[in-house]
Amino acid sequence: MSTEPNAPATTPADPETPEPPRGHPVSFVRRGSRLQGRRREAWAELAGDYLIEVPRVSADTSVDPDYRFDAAGAFGRHAPLVVEVGSGLGEAITHAAELNPDRNFLALEVYRPGLAQTMLRISQKGLTNVRVAQVNAPEALAGMLGPASLSELWVYFPDPWHKVRHRKRRLVKESFVELAARVLEPGGLFRLATDWSDYAVQMRSVLNASPMFANLHAGERTGEMSPLTQVWESGVESVVGGAPVRKGKDPVSTGNTGINEGTDTLGGWAPRFEDRPLTSFENKALEAGRMVFDLTYRRTGLPTG
């Protein structure tokens, strides 16, 4: 675990510029990692208790390919492990950890302020079953986490990367699904949520195409009951972030934003996961009029890798 609160943070001048290249696009940009006020204090005071010290190879979110996370050592016990990718300010994972003291939880996040806030929440709630790590999630799933070591994997509201030229940076794609299959135990659950319909369709498509996953709600919420149909019919995504699209510009979220664009006959949308609280991020999406799409898949077959 790390106790270095003043480690230098990478803050590119261009907020659209990702970290130094790793040979493949990353799913995030570094919008600033400076710690201030209480979060700076939290990093100094709490990192030694909750932050996993991950060996690096280049960037400060990279993972040495030889490093293996020792869950029993980190938590001081053997228990089912739940990992959240992109844990943000820690609202979801600390809420779930409080409800499920018999499970271990690991928050993976690239932004130091988010990790500092998560550690504050852990401390304030008196939780002993949560740890955090500043890592690029695909690298963590590729080697840091052992095969079949997770009972659940969560990806809630990943960056949608609206622009077509940026979509290669989306996290949930075929290669990430393969990594998810590697770390989930047989029968383990992969839970996802997004508030953008075209990303929801992409998630559903790549997971439905994988022989390693089965949709727990296949065939459910089709037609008029589908949130996808409702988005298409309402045209709600003709606004971005709740603000009207600038005159002469097309919506960047999806091509299916007009009234009566179609009916979703496939469905497969899960009910909202009851252990996920209404986070500040999700609440902003709802206030902007967007709908939330939930998906839940079960890992099938034997572990890989």
Cα 104 → chain centroid: 17
Residue 136 assigned to a binding site: yes
Nearest partner of 255 among 193, 202, 194, judged by Cα: 202
Amino acid at 43: W
Residue 3 assigned to a binding site: no
Token representation of residue 292: 């939330």
Residues 6+ apart with CB under 8 A from 249: none
Instruction: Give the Cα separation of 199 and 161 in Å (integer).
Output: 9
Token representation of residue 203: 């998630």
Amino acid at 78: H
Q: In DSSP terms, which residues pair with 244 in a beta bridge?
A: 239
Token representation of residue 85: 């990718």
Nearest partner of 94 among 43, 128, 51, 61, judged by Cα: 128
Are the beta carbons of 119 and 41 closer than 8 angstroms? Answer: no
- Angle, vertex CA 90, rays to CA 52 and CA 39, nearest 5: 75
Instruction: For residue 275, count CB atoms less than 10 angstroms from its CB and return exposed for 0-12, middle for 13-18, buried for 19 or more.
Output: middle
Residue 125 assigned to a binding site: no
Instruction: For residue 245, count CB atoms less than 10 angstroms from its CB and return exposed for 0-12, middle for 13-18, buried for 19 or more.
Output: middle
Selecting among 159, 250, 264, 294, the annotated active-site residue is: 159
Residue 84 assigned to a binding site: yes
Residue 198 assigned to a binding site: no
Residue 159 assigned to a binding site: yes
Is 70 annotated as catalytic? no
- Beta-strand relationship, 213-215 and 130-134: unpaired
Instruction: Give the Cα separation of 280 and 222 in Å (integer).
Output: 28
Residue 282 assigned to a binding site: yes
Residue 281 assigned to a binding site: yes
Residues at the binding site for S-adenosyl-L-methionine are 84, 109, 136, 159
Residues at the binding site are 84, 109, 136, 159, 163, 195, 279-282
Residues at the binding site for substrate are 163, 195, 279-282
Catalytically active residues, by annotation: 159
